[in-house]
Structure 1
């Protein structure tokens, strides 16, 4: 009996030792928070911004946030209900203004969170959470800024703008995609590894004649590195199901030719009935060169939109150190801000300091050309019809003599 009792006691002692060794020892912190973080109201960058604003140096203010004072205050008013937190007996909450200011500065500069903490006087953990929460709030309140046409009349309004500005009629938008560099996600293998040799997600966008995004699709893994990525978007799903309400083919101005409405793109995408791309370089003649020029001229709006986005928001100058879903949210936030500023403060947005792109950046890389070499015959006929139109009835007259 005594022997059994001793064995049980030994077992209990062994179990107790195992449990005690498995439990992590409590770390006795010397302080709850760093003292300098408690002096945010003294050292915060908002004090500097207040001084800049009081001296009426609006250019510097707009460069700091990539927007003027009026847009900042309007946006702050919209996001405040989504960012406001209650103060506690332990400490005061971070105000919506501080959250919005920190997020906009992060988007504008692309500085690391460790570096940003010395400007906004917040802990890195708090900054990371604030950036994501604020981006969600911005996307929510600016939903109206990116709106894809849903009726024939809305599509025709987009086409009319292209015709008036770029003399490319029946054009419903310019389509393109870019690789946005990200840090390799954990346990992802080669899922996000693209043909250029870095990890990325794809930003697919349709742009109108005013360089505004009317459709964005973000998050497809970079491994799908050619025009086939379009097939994974919600936009293409709606197109396949004929739910986009595209207008019926119409007569081109000044002629009797009938042409369907088309979306223009580059060599990265496959030619289709409603998707136009340039003629291959190895089959050009004078007429086809004219067509390629007219298409390239109209399609420049999407390259300009990406160029503005890349120069105004410094986060695209380096790989995003966030998991893919959060990187997609941050990218979408910049697209919504781009449209918002073009619509409400285009002058200050476009005239503010342009950030020079780093020669070593891997972000915003063009997509790989598609390997589809056998487009449908009717798509080829549509392209040839437009080619003949641009060289005859739709020819651009440069002066009164017609030369």
Structure 2
């Protein structure tokens, strides 16, 4: 065989090899040359060891990060025949993305990892954060905890027997393909809904994530696992308590706005304008306690700024992001490790699958609920707000 024929055969083999790589996705190298200096010049290596830069990057103190990493290290560690990305890198990248938001390609460039790898790491880490910490920090409170919450609401916001403020927050997203008007909300944007309950100290005690933006808050509550327990009387709420300085027995209740139905366990303001003075006083006192959930949403968005702008991702991926931010918020308000000993057998206030809420007749208020609201109104009017240390 002549030399020219040998050369042609070699060239043909090389061309066939490249075609095989393109067709079957075989990679010539595991890490692209531009990303191979990650350990020396990537964002993680240049900022992780410095206290000030560390806090600015993830908006979290180092001890909290270390505690968080110890809880999820085993789940986010990867084992392979080639060097894998360490768990602290994965958590640091995820928290940086949640803390500031922005373009995924930017984080891919800054941390010197592939774009698909960056998306996979953030998604997996958010899932692990929710699966491990959600049942601990967001399980439904027990009876003694409900009583503590009621005491806090009266001491801080002068509202007796209140065990939580409830409201919904629209998390803006870009319109998903072929979704029609499911995600289109009354504000004229596309969103999924975060429905949450919080205590008097702005700490979330339960959440529901993933409902369509077109649904009402009352419908979302009805279709959530927490709402079904609440409506069916199967939630471990305290027995009726005596209103202060009276002999009136009154049930424990949540407070919400006019989007929720009036129930014996759910107080809402009197509707309408030009109300009598006593009803105006009641509405103001109720709103004074209800605003804690609005403040909790504001604190959440300011801490995890990815929520300040529309999320350019699928609704399922956006749900992962929101779950992780809520869990982080709960950790920051309960830093003591003893909280981890809390009973994890409760039912979380969460919907796993996006579902369309049905209209339900039970959203109508009962005569008993109207009477209870009037009783509470008369008590609040006769007991003005008192100055107490916050």
- Report deviation, 1:268: 1.5
- Report deviation, 1:101: 0.6
> Within 5 Å, which residues of 2 pair with 1:186-225?
186-225=177-216
- The yes-or-no answer on 1:292 pairing with 2:283 is yes
Q: TM-score, normalised by structure 2?
A: 0.82
> Within 5 Å, which residues of 2 pair with 1:67-78?
67-78=60-71
> Within 5 Å, which residues of 2 pair with 1:3-402?
33-50=31-48, 52-53=50-51, 57=52, 60-88=53-81, 91-143=82-134, 144-150=136-142, 152-344=143-335, 375-392=365-382, 394-397=383-386
- Report deviation, 1:153: 2.5
Task: Check 1:371–1:195 CA distance in 2 against 1; reply closer, same or farther (3 A cut).
Answer: farther
Could you tell me whether the CA contact under 8 Å between 1:194 and 1:225 is conserved in 2? Answer: no
Could you tell me whether the CA contact under 8 Å between 1:389 and 1:395 is conserved in 2? Answer: no
- Report deviation, 1:189: 2.4
- Report deviation, 1:283: 4.9
Could you tell me whether the CA contact under 8 Å between 2:153 and 2:199 is conserved in 1? Answer: yes
Could you tell me whether the CA contact under 8 Å between 2:218 and 2:363 is conserved in 1? Answer: no
Q: Deviations over 1:291-348 (max 9, x none)?
A: 1121111112101110011111121122223322221121011111001011118xxx
Q: Deviations over 1:69-94 (max 9, x none)?
A: 11111111111100111242xx3101
Could you tell me whether the CA contact under 8 Å between 1:200 and 1:222 is conserved in 2? Answer: yes
- Report deviation, 1:382: 1.0
Aligned residues: 343
Q: Which runs of 5+ in 2 are unaligned?
A: 1-21, 337-359
Could you tell me whether the CA contact under 8 Å between 1:195 and 1:225 is conserved in 2? Answer: no
- Report deviation, 1:116: 0.9
Which range moved further: 195-204 or 223-232? 223-232
Q: Distance in 2 between matches of 1:71 and 1:39?
A: 29
Could you tell me whether the CA contact under 8 Å between 2:72 and 2:129 is conserved in 1? Answer: yes
Q: Higher Cα Rg: structure 1 or 2?
A: 1
- Report deviation, 1:396: 2.6
- Report deviation, 1:287: 1.5
Task: Check 1:285–1:116 CA distance in 2 against 1; reply closer, same or farther (3 A cut).
Answer: same
Could you tell me whether the CA contact under 8 Å between 1:79 and 1:137 is conserved in 2? Answer: yes
Q: TM-score, normalised by structure 1?
A: 0.79
* Structural RMSD (CA): 2.4
- Report deviation, 1:147: 2.6
Task: Check 1:337–1:95 CA distance in 2 against 1; reply closer, same or farther (3 A cut).
Answer: same
